[in-house]
């Protein structure tokens, strides 16, 4: 039940019904003069309702008690002012429609059942009880039936249709706002990840790069702790501050992947109790694991799955570039030493360098 969304429409509905009832009172001869006391009490009650409606509707049990009291007070007023021939007969829709909006079909059925029960109870009350009733100024039965039919259309059918339209559009707007917020948050995270990709330089210190990436993971996923386990040269390098149990679980996961005991279907993440592991897989090999400790959510959103995949690909690409740079270094040193040996031996070399040596 969206409480904040219900308050204003229900108050506006109450105002419209009371205005319509006031017009009927003015059009009914003698009713105002004979029922001043009841009208004054009912007016004070409605003022109190407007003052207390917003606080009461936020409390579940208090809301139900209010609706029940509103129904009893309204029915009592109608019995004392002529029943269906009373100019206040449209007010019966105030508690019933409120119950319908707040509690759905069950509320409407409860309101109607309350009306039937009250009518059955009143029929057993001695006539002497109604000596204080307003006997003058009632509408005739035909007019009362016409007013009741018009009231059903004006103050139940039409408001319910408008309410459904309002509720549907309000829910749609709320969904669009949430989607827009999620997209904005996702764009912010992607931009942060994009900036981080530009800082993954092969000539930078690996520990410093990993610490920056861990800080980014903590910010992106709101976890207690994040750690990275990288497999380099047959050894596992750990970045972050994992617990002993976390290390054991990650080592066991790495062994399962290396032995081929991992699930056949490739998973971008492995959800465990209060933690989440993202395997860093490149081809048939596992390059490491990103571990997120303090993950308490039972499901992974599509945006989070995309971020996991991007971080895994980013780390795998970084490791591949590191390996490539390492493979180039010994080759470059070897070719340089061969060239220097040729120069020192006195043998001729080709190209422009050949002419410069000869000119000297």
The reply to whether 253 and 311 lie within a common domain is yes
Residues 149-191: pLDDT tens digits? 888 998 899 999 999 999 899 889 999 999 899 888 889 888 8
- Give the end of a domain, one of 175, 210, 244: 175
DSSP 156: I
pTM above the 0.75 mark? no
What tokens appear for 236 in the block?
């596992």
Whether residue 15 has pLDDT greater than 80 = yes
The reply to whether 137 and 219 lie within a common domain is no
Provide mean pLDDT across the span 103-117: 90
Q: Helix 158-198 to helix 302-344 angle, to the nearest 10 degrees?
A: 10
Q: How many CA atoms lie within 13 A of 249 on its CB side?
A: 21
Indicate the number of domains in the chain: 2
H-assigned helices in 222-301: 244-259
The reply to whether 164 and 224 lie within a common domain is no
The reply to whether 65 and 127 lie within a common domain is yes
d(CA 22, CA 19): 5
Whether residue 264 has pLDDT greater than 50 = no
Does a structural domain hold residue 337? no
The reply to whether 171 and 210 lie within a common domain is no
Which residues constitute the domain of residue 326? 199-330
The reply to whether 32 and 89 lie within a common domain is yes
Residues 21-46: pLDDT tens digits? 999 888 887 777 777 888 888 999 99
Cα–Cα distances (Å) from 232 to 235, 288, 318, in that order, read: 5, 9, 12
Cβ atoms of residues 271 and 299 within 8 Å:
no
DSSP 154: I
Q: What is the largest CA-CA distance in the chain?
A: 138
- Residue 282 — very low, low, confident or very high, per pLDDT cuts 50/70/90? confident
The reply to whether 152 and 29 lie within a common domain is yes
The reply to whether 265 and 308 lie within a common domain is yes
DSSP 92: G
Residues 123-143: pLDDT tens digits? 777 666 655 555 555 677 788
Does a structural domain hold residue 189? no
The reply to whether 212 and 121 lie within a common domain is no
Whether residue 2 has pLDDT greater than 90 = no
Cβ atoms of residues 103 and 60 within 8 Å:
no
d(CA 300, CA 244): 26
For the four alpha carbons of 76, 80, 83 and 88, in that order, the dihedral sign comes to negative
CATH of the domain at 208: 3.30.450.40
Cβ atoms of residues 318 and 290 within 8 Å:
no
The reply to whether 74 and 204 lie within a common domain is no
Model pLDDT, residue 99? 92
The reply to whether 23 and 129 lie within a common domain is yes
H-assigned helices in the chain: 3-27, 31-34, 36-57, 60-80, 93-122, 141-152, 158-198, 206-221, 244-259, 302-344, 352-359
Does a structural domain hold residue 352? no
């Amino acid at each position: 039940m969206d409480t904040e969304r219900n308050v204003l429409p229900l108050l506006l509905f109450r105002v419209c019904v009371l205005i319509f009832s006031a017009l009927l009172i003015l059009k009914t001869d003698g009713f105002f003069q004979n029922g001043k006391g009841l009208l004054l009490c009912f007016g004070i009650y409605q003022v109190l309702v407007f003052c207390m409606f917003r606080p009461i509707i936020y409390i579940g049990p208090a809301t139900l008690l209010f609706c029940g009291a509103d129904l009893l007070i309204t029915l009592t007023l109608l019995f004392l002012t002529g029943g269906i021939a009373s100019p206040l007969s449209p007010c019966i829709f105030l508690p019933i429609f409120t119950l319908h909006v707040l509690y759905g079909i069950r509320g409407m059925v409860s309101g109607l059942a309350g009306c039937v029960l009250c009518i059955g109870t009143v029929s057993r009350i001695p006539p002497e009880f109604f000596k204080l009733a307003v006997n003058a100024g009632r509408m005739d039965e035909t007019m009362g039936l016409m007013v009741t039919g018009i009231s059903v259309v004006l103050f139940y059918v039409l408001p319910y249709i408008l309410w459904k339209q309002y509720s549907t559009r309000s829910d749609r707007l709320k969904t669009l706002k949430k989607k827009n917020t999620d997209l904005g948050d996702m764009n912010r995270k992607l931009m942060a990840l994009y900036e981080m990709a530009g800082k993954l330089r092969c000539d930078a210190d690996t520990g410093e790069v990993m610490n920056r990436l861990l800080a980014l993971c903590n910010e992106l996923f709101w976890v207690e702790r994040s750690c990275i386990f990288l497999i380099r040269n047959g050894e596992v390098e750990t970045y972050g501050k994992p617990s002993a149990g976390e290390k054991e679980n990650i080592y066991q996961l790495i062994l399962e992947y290396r032995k081929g005991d991992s699930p056949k279907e490739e998973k971008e993440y492995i959800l465990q109790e209060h933690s989440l592991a993202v395997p860093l897989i490149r081809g048939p090999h596992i390059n490491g694991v990103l571990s997120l400790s303090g993950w308490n959510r039972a499901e992974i959103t599509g945006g989070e799955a995309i971020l996991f995949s991007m971080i895994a690909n980013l780390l795998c690409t970084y490791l591949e570039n590191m390996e490539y740079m390492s493979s180039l270094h010994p080759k470059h040193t070897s070719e340089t030493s061969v060239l220097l040996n040729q120069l020192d031996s006195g043998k001729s070399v080709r190209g422009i360098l050949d002419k410069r040596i000869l000119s000297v």
